[in-house]
């Protein structure tokens, strides 16, 4: 079984948009995304994107468009020297009660089964409490909140009582610094 780094998409790899990323032209990749992903893969981790995309369930964009955006992002990352092993997407609205929408761990557990991943040796990096809760529920050994995207706003809201320990950092680059500094033990 492999260790992995599970990453939220919007607000971690690319800029978050309040009105949803609706097409590829709206994707703004953070400047240090490629180098950060390369550092993760060089350290021996699988890289998995887990993203809630309720814009699909709300009828704002089609599932095909959402998948095309994810595919183009992965291709662009590869063209810039890094990789993503797979992307998982929850297309449901929050009120649909699915098992895949974060804070539920469905996407992470599915990835663990399909890619032979060990959550207990893996990390979750996100910009929302729901990301960290999903990682915790899946048994991730480390949880990191970035201040990019919705992260700063999330830290101004009460931390969910059920959330155990996590690290708070400025961006994905600092998240990778934290992850690599804590590889040997539980963060």
Q: Which residues, 6+ apart, have CB-to-CB distance to 86 below 8 Å?
A: 48, 49, 111, 114, 115
Q: Which residues, 6+ apart, have CB-to-CB distance to 56 below 8 Å?
A: 62, 63, 66, 89, 91, 92
10, 46 in Cβ contact below 8 A?
Answer: no
Active site residues: 8, 10
Distance between CA atoms of residues 123 and 5, nearest Å: 5
């Amino acid at each position: 079984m492999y260790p992995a780094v599970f990453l939220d998409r919007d607000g971690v790899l690319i800029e978050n948009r309040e009105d949803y990323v609706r097409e590829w032209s709206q994707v703004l990749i953070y400047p240090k995304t490629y180098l950060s992903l390369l550092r993760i893969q060089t350290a021996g981790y699988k890289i998995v994107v887990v993203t809630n995309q309720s814009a699909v369930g709300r009828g704002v964009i089609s599932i095909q468009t959402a998948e095309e955006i994810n595919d183009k992002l992965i291709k662009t990352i590869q063209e810039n020297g890094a990789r993503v092993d797979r992307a998982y997407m929850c297309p449901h609205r929050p009120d649909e009660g699915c098992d895949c929408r974060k804070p539920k761990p469905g996407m992470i557990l599915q990835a663990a089964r399909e890619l032979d991943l060990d959550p207990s040796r893996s990390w979750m990096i996100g910009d929302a409490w729901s990301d960290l809760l999903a990682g915790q529920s899946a048994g991730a050994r480390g949880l990191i909140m970035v201040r990019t995207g919705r992260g700063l706003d999330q830290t101004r809201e009460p931390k969910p009582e059920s959330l155990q320990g996590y690290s708070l950092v400025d961006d994905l680059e600092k998240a990778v610094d934290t992850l690599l500094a804590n590889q040997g033990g539980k963060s």
